[in-house]
Amino acid sequence: MFPRPIAKASPAARIGYQAFLPVALFLWLLPLLAIFMTSIRTSKDINSGNVFGWPSEFKLLENYTAVFTQSDAAQYLWNSVLITVPTVLISVTLACLAGYALAIYKTRWALPMFFMFVAGNFIPFQILMVPVRDMSVQTGLYDTIAGQYLFHAAFQTGFCTLFMRNFIKALPFDLIESARIEGVAEWRIFWYVVLPLVRPAVAALAVLIFTFVWNDFFWANVLTQGEQVKPITAGVRALNGQFVNNWHLVSAASLLAAVPPVAMFFLMQRHFIAGLTLGAVK
């Protein structure tokens, strides 16, 4: 273990460490705590400069209800769900298939093809922006929910394929070899041998892609115009204009936008972290 376990240190150091932990955490999350406190204050408190002090009144329910009644927040949140869920389903499905192909078959083009998916995953969005926007306008997908999830699904397929291919490559190849010798058809090997084994990877990808797409802001701006199809990230920005200097409402709306990915993270923490390390730090 490095650093040396604190349990072996002197009692003073141990107590000091344990006392310092919450302080460090408090400082680290200070911006978040401050905005949470703002979201439960009255506007009077904020205008009088009461940022750190105890709120003069607690307006937790009132402020959060106001966000829903005074804006389209509910619509935006629902749009985000409608965009995110199909993206996860499509990209993970395609990546299972493609990852299997790139990991199992030893052909010359498997590696270049794999690198194409990897490279595509790292490119700047701007190089895709104009053609994708133009294509969406041409095909009637501009300013629709489908236009957004189709693009996200295609783009995230790159990352998912990278992840899946590495995961499947790490499986014992003997399993597939022996199934082939038994004469099992290729698609049955995929379905009955490989798919059950990649379940952890599917879970990791699902939470990660959910978070990535939920938090997307750029494409929401490029591919939509109207309020009807905007996801919550773009919505929060619109609310920011609507609630000018009503910082208690802006902060409540921002925190609401963050709830689903945060919940996802705390529920599926292990998978989430496995996904973030790209499966490379084992």
Partner 1 sequence: MATTDANAPTKASWIQKNKLSIAPWFFLIPALCFFAVYVVIPIFESLYLSLFEWNGLYRADGTSTAEFVGFENYQKLWTDPKFWVSLKNNVLWLFLFMLAVPVGLFIALFLNQTVPGMRFYKSMFFFPFVISQVVVGLIFGWFYNPDFGVVGSIYKALYCEEVTNLLGNLTTRCDGSPPDILSSAEYATYGIIAAGLWPQIAYCMILYLTGLNNVAVDQIEAARLDGAKGWKMLWYVVVPQLKPATFIAVVVTVIGALRSFDMIAIMTQGGPFGSTNVLSYYMFETAISEYGERYGYGSAIATVLFAIMLVFISYFLYRMYQDEKGGR
Q: Which of residues 242-271 bind partner 1 (CB under 8 A)?
A: 245, 247, 250-251, 254-255, 257-258, 261-262, 264-266, 269
62-80 residues labelled b (16+ CB within 10 A) or e (exposed): ebbebbeeebbbebbbebb
- Binding of partner 1 by 211 (CB under 8 A): yes
140: DSSP letter: T
Nearest in space to 227 (alpha carbons), one of 84, 59, 71, 44: 71
- C-alpha separations of 32 from 27, 58, 76 in Å: 10, 18, 22
- Binding of partner 1 by 89 (CB under 8 A): no
Residues 213-232 touching partner 1, rule: CB under 8 A, are 214-215, 217-218, 221-222
- Binding of partner 1 by 8 (CB under 8 A): no
How many Cβ atoms from other residues are within 10 Å of residue 260's Cβ? Answer: 18
Q: How far is the CB of 85 from partner 1 (least distance, A)?
A: 17
Stretch that binds partner 1, among 60-68, 69-77, 125-133, 196-204 (CB under 8 A): 125-133
Q: Which two tokens stand for residue 163?
A: 């992840």
Binding-site member from 94, 179, 193, 203 for partner 1 (CB under 8 A): 94
Q: Is the peptide bond prior to 131 cis by the omega test (within 30 degrees of 0)?
A: no
Amino acid at 209: I
- Binding of partner 1 by 197 (CB under 8 A): no
Q: How far is the CB of 226 from partner 1 (least distance, A)?
A: 15
Binding-site member from 153, 176, 204, 249 for partner 1 (CB under 8 A): 153
- Binding of partner 1 by 161 (CB under 8 A): yes
Indicate the SS3 state at residue 230.
Answer: coil
- Binding of partner 1 by 35 (CB under 8 A): yes
Indicate the SS3 state at residue 80.
Answer: helix
Binding-site member from 73, 77, 150, 206 for partner 1 (CB under 8 A): 150
- C-alpha separations of 70 from 64, 79, 250, 253, 276 in Å: 10, 18, 12, 11, 37
Stretch that binds partner 1, among 56-64, 66-74, 196-204, 210-218 (CB under 8 A): 210-218
- Binding of partner 1 by 76 (CB under 8 A): no
Nearest in space to 160 (alpha carbons), one of 213, 82, 98, 80: 98
Binding-site member from 18, 65, 178, 228 for partner 1 (CB under 8 A): 18
Phi, psi of 226 (to 5 degrees): -85, 165
Q: How far is the CB of 182 from partner 1 (least distance, A)?
A: 14
Residues 48-67 touching partner 1, rule: CB under 8 A, are 49, 51-52
